[in-house]
Structure formats: structure tokens, C-alpha cells
Amino acid sequence: MQIVYHIGAHCTDDWKIQTCLARNRGLLAREGIIVPNPGRFRPILRETLKVLKGDAATREVQELMLDSILTQDHPERLIFSNEAFLGGLQRALTNDTLYHDAAEKCRNLHNLFHDQEVEFYLGIRNPATFLPACFARMGGDSFEAYLAQIDPLSIRWSDVVERIHTALPTATLKVWSNEDTPFIWHELIRDIADCDNTTQLVGLDDYLSSIMLEEGLDRMEAYLETHPPSNEIQRRRILGAFLDKFEIEDETAEVAAPVWTNELIENLTDIYEEDLFAIERMPGVQFISP
């Protein structure tokens, strides 16, 4: 059995992966791919993790978890999606580190089904927008106080990825940039589901409707009808052109604080681009890119 953990990060896909997979729950189940209801699996995994305290689950414990979570026997692939797997949003920045407990959290998740094939999926985001979005989600009073938890210029997603991979070198670890999500959405959903290529998944276009103005969607659809792309690269170029003009503005990425200057934002973005390149070259880590 394959166990899949989509572990976030916070403020990346905003539960859209989980929603899309859930819409296809019936279709996927026919192929032995199970997408359990979060309300069902989260308390069970949480309580089991608490009891095990990092120890590996016995076969009996695994069977008890599966009996409590599943509604059908002998799945081939079981997908758990929860952006809090790496910890609560309040602990994303602790000990002057991004996701300080990421390796331990993933190791504990792996130990729940340690004798199965375990895969981890992680979306990451430019700290220049990630930090304001997390702050907005938390509803804090002072962005400067929030930033005091960590030096923004020290943030490296590659550090988080490396710690997870070092802790679990044999587990599959796939990473992508949230900024690339619109261009790889179909591929990403199919990769996580690992379903048959001929399976007609529903709701794959819902993601674009959440990030692009309706006018832009209508115009793009009309353009694609009269100018069908000859390949995937061309389709992504067309999508990029329409996103540039009609993408819905992310208001959570806007903050007003003396420390949050345009120069800092540009520096964070430059560092992030270099960090993505470092992750792409990491042995044992699969980077999903357009």
C-alpha cells in the first residue's frame, strides 16, 4: 500500500488540492485510491501520534487506524492532505527557524505506516508573500512583532527540505513552487493521485477560477477555442499571458510596516529564486516544475 502525505505548506494551495481530490473521491476509489475525509482521519492520526510519541506503529495499531479511517478494504493508495502536518501555523516560525520540527513531524508520520511505501508532497512559497499571508491568516496585531521571530533573509526552504530528506532518505519527497501551481495544476493533481491517465477527473479547472477574474477566464477560453495550443509549453505561455493581466490580487501579501520595504521584498524574492534552484539540484528530492 502507498501512503501519501500532502504536508502543506501553510498558505500555499489553500486546501484546493484537498478539495479537488475530494471531488474525485468516487472515481479514484474505483482504482483503489482512497481520499479519506479530513474530519475522519485527522483526529485518528493525531491521537495515534500522541500515544506513539514517535515510536513505530505495530501492525495491530496500523490495522486499528485503517479500520477507523477507511470505508473499503485493501486500498492501493491512501492520500492524507493537511497543511498542519508540519505543525500549527503559530509554530511555522520558531527558534529562529522555518518549520523547526519538520523532520521530526515527518518522521513521526512515516512511523505510522513505516512498513508501507510512504510519499511526501510539499508546496513552498516565496517568503515575500508567505510571511504576510501567514500573518494575515493568524490575525495578528503587529507584523513587525511577527517578523521578530526570524530574520526573513535567513529563510531557506532548501533547509526544510534537506532536514526532511535527511531524516527519511528512503521516502519519496516531491516539492513544487506555489508560484508555479497554476501551470502544473493538472500534472500535480494526477501525480498526487497517481491515477490512470485516462481517468477523467472533474474540477481540474476550478483552480484557475479561484485565482483569475471571470472576465479573464472567459477571454482565455475564447482564445483557446480559436487558437488551440499545439503543445503544453504553448498552453502555459497563453495561461501566463492571461494571468499577467487578469490574476486576482492577493491582498494577504500586502502589509504596511516600516521594516517591510520594497528592497527587502526584492531581496527575499532573489534569495527564493536561488533557493528553488538549490532544491531542484538536491539528490533524492523530486522537484515538480513547468
Instruction: Output the domain CATH number for residue 163.
Output: 3.40.50
Q: Is 220 a member of any domain?
A: no
Q: Is 239 a member of any domain?
A: no
pLDDT of 268 reads 97
Of 10, 26, 17, 13, the closest CA to residue 192 belongs to 17
Helix axes 157-167, 262-280, angle to 10 degrees: 30
Q: Is 43 a member of any domain?
A: yes
**Cα radius of gyration rounded to whole Å, the chain:** 20
CB atoms within 10 A of CB 121: 22
pLDDT of 253 reads 74
Q: Is 233 a member of any domain?
A: no
C-alpha 11/C-alpha 207 separation (Å) is 15
pLDDT of 65 reads 96
Q: Is 139 a member of any domain?
A: yes
Domain span at 191: 2-212+248-288
pLDDT of 232 reads 86
pLDDT of 140 reads 79
Helix (H, G, I), strand (E, B) or coil at 86: helix
The tally of domains found in the chain comes to 1
Give the helix/strand (H/E) hosting 93.
Answer: strand 93-94
Q: Is 222 a member of any domain?
A: no
| 76 contacts: CB under 8 Å, gap ≥ 6 | 1, 2, 31, 32, 33
pLDDT of 256 reads 79
Mean pLDDT by 10 residues, the chain (290 residues): 97 95 96 95 97 96 95 91 95 93 98 97 97 92 91 97 98 98 96 94 91 94 92 91 92 82 96 98 96
pLDDT of 200 reads 94
Q: Is 218 a member of any domain?
A: no
Q: What is the pTM of this model?
A: 0.95
Q: Is 39 a member of any domain?
A: yes
pLDDT of 37 reads 94
